[in-house]
Amino acid sequence: MNSNDTQRPAGPDQAAGPATAAWLVRCRNAGWTPGQICVGLVEHGWDADAAAAMSLHSLRSSDRHQLLYNGLCWGAGLGVLGAGSAAHIALTAGRDPVELASAITLMLVATPLAIGCGIVARKVESNEAHSIWSPTRRVLFATLAACTAVVGLFRLLAYTFEAVAAAVGADGFDFTPASVVQVMVTICLAGPLFWWSLSEWKKSSVVHRSLTSVGRVERDTSAPQLAGTVGA
């Protein structure tokens, strides 16, 4: 590495300069991932947001597995929704068998799809380091986490209110073991799904990974040391 490597890069307003573009080309050709590039920029003084945006521009192709990640996220979300709905319907007095059958069918179809896509996704990500930076992957997991939080919180509030209202003797509410089970079903299904989707989203978040990686250095020991200035 020559002395130019320690120079502070130009600011974000000059991020698209020829020198930066040439540096990105060398990084890309050396096989660096956006996470490694972002860490390198941040270590040279770049703002994390500007570094993240620039590192994502370095990708040749980052979205070759859209169908796979759509199957994984939709399958996981609908599978949990079907399982939760089936449990809630089964615990409700005077349940409609057609609604119960629909919820169970949704669960039985979506869950194997999610499992299959999950297995394939892990193999793809272990073989293709850049696949984890897919914009589709990032957006889908963020959406899944948000939807799980909203739906899970809404159901948790509704069933907790019913259980508490029944416990304090409010008119029209009967306290039964099913009231407590309804709450537990929501927590046990929505909680793990939210945590998993949030964790997967963090893996695809360049800013998050760069900020947590600077200082402990995200690069592998085999990562190339590229010469040249970063910036204009």
Q: Residue 169 CB: number of other CB atoms within 10 A? A: 9
Q: Is residue 131 part of a domain?
A: yes
Structural domain includes residue 39: no
- CA angle, 8 then 9 then 12, to 5°: 135
Within a domain: 199: yes
Contact 191/152 with Cβ under 8 angstroms?
yes
Structural domain harbouring 100 = 66-205
Number of domains in the chain: 1
Whole-structure pTM value: 0.68
pLDDT digits (tens, 9 = 90+) for 57-114: 666 555 678 899 999 999 999 999 999 999 989 888 778 899 999 999 999 999 999 9
> Higher pLDDT residue, 210 or 221?
210
Q: How far apart are the first and last CA of the chain?
A: 18
The verdict on residue 14 lying in a domain is no
